[in-house]
């Protein structure tokens, strides 16, 4: 995949000059590699804003036009501003014919509709979205294809089962690492609703206990339960009404 990109030489010496350049809509860049000297460049942000978001950007060969002279280059690193998240600097490396470079190539999954595990509701769990390969500078693959057809739930796709692009080699050779798995669907159990009957019965019982008057005060340990004040007064009134007052008057003594 080759794209055209235009750049201009820049002569910035200070941090303030670089900031001024960015404020004008340009991204500072540098070109290195090969036998030619390093070049300090600037690229208009509007021309690379969309392709910077592509996962293939760091593995894409560009024809970089610098003042009418074209060079084949590949982006090696992009740094972003901490707060604004705008691109702050791009490193480009010259692509020298016949040389080999190490790149992270994006992984692309195909035949999802023919995957038995996904049809059953399984989930594709991607472990590696990019795989590092060593390849020729003039023959960089666009992606690494992983075939999902025939895989069921529980399947584990290891790198040994993946067909690599021609003229490429893995940089990790000491283990058969996992690229992706077909995981079982996650079932979320809904929480049970709290029982309302217990609350209702408790409320009804409380209402029944207080109906017709106030509830008796609970007794302390070893004491008889106290009656409520109203009950005490009513009992006292009844007692006074039923009892006779002893007379304090003395009867006159009989005359002899």
Cα separation, 244 vs 97, whole angstroms: 131
Q: State residue 189's pLDDT score.
A: 61
Q: State residue 127's pLDDT score.
A: 97
Q: State residue 195's pLDDT score.
A: 65
The order of strands in the sheet holding 123-126 is 123-126, 178-183, 156-158
Q: State residue 65's pLDDT score.
A: 95
User: 231: helix, coil or strand?
Assistant: helix
Q: State residue 3's pLDDT score.
A: 82
Q: State residue 55's pLDDT score.
A: 86
Q: What are the residue ranges of CATH 2.40.240.10 in the chain?
A: 2-96
Tokens of 223: 């004491």
Residue 182 · residue 122 · CB < 8 Å: yes
Tokens of 156: 């584990």
Residue 187 · residue 153 · CB < 8 Å: no
Tokens of 206: 């409380």
Task: Return the H-helix or E-strand segment holding 135.
Answer: strand 130-136
Cα separation, 125 vs 151, whole angstroms: 13
Q: What are the residue ranges of CATH 2.170.120.20 in the chain?
A: 102-183
DSSP string for 66-92 = ETTEEEEEEEEEEEE-TTT--EEEEEE
Residue 123 · residue 183 · CB < 8 Å: yes
Cα separation, 63 vs 131, whole angstroms: 25
pLDDT tens for the chain, 256 residues: list them. Answer: 448 899 999 988 899 999 999 999 999 999 999 889 999 999 999 999 889 988 889 999 999 999 899 999 999 999 999 898 899 999 999 998 888 999 999 999 999 999 999 999 999 999 999 999 999 888 889 999 999 999 999 999 999 999 999 999 999 999 999 999 999 987 756 667 666 555 555 545 454 444 444 444 554 554 544 544 444 444 444 444 444 444 444 444 444 4
Q: State residue 99's pLDDT score.
A: 86
Read off φ and ψ for residue 123, nearest 5 degrees.
Answer: -120, 135
Q: State residue 1's pLDDT score.
A: 45
Cα separation, 16 vs 14, whole angstroms: 5
Architecture category of domain 102-183 in CATH: Beta Complex (2.170)
Architecture category of domain 2-96 in CATH: Beta Barrel (2.40)
Q: Which residues contact 43 (CB under 8 A, 6 or more apart)?
A: 5, 6, 7, 8, 26, 27, 29, 90
């Amino acid at each position: 995949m080759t794209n055209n990109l235009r750049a201009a030489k820049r002569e910035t010496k200070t941090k303030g000059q670089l900031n001024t350049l960015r404020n004008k809509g340009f991204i500072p860049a540098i070109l290195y590699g090969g036998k030619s000297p390093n070049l300090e460049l600037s690229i208009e942000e509007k021309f690379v804003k969309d392709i910077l978001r592509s996962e293939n950007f760091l593995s894409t060969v560009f024809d970089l036009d610098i003042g009418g002279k074209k060079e084949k280059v590949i982006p090696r690193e992009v740094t972003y501003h901490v707060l604004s998240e705008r691109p702050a600097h791009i490193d480009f490396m010259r692509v020298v014919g016949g040389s080999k470079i190490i790149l992270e190539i994006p992984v692309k999954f195909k035949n999802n509709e023919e995957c038995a595990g996904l049809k059953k509701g399984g989930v594709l769990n991607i472990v590696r979205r990019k795989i590092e390969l060593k390849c020729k500078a003039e023959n960089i693959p666009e992606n690494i294809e992983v075939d999902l057809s025939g895989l069921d739930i529980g399947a584990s796709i290891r790198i040994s089962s993946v067909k690599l692009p021609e003229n490429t080699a893995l940089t990790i050779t000491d283990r058969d690492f996992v690229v992706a798995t077909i995981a079982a669907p996650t079932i979320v159990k809904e929480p049970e609703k709290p029982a309302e009957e217990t609350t209702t019965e408790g409320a009804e019982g409380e209402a029944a206990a207080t109906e017709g008057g106030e509830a008796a005060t609970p007794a302390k340990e070893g004491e008889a339960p106290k009656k409520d004040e109203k009950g005490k007064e009513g009992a006292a009134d009844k007692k006074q009404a039923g009892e006779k007052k002893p007379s304090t008057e003395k009867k006159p003594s009989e005359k002899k």
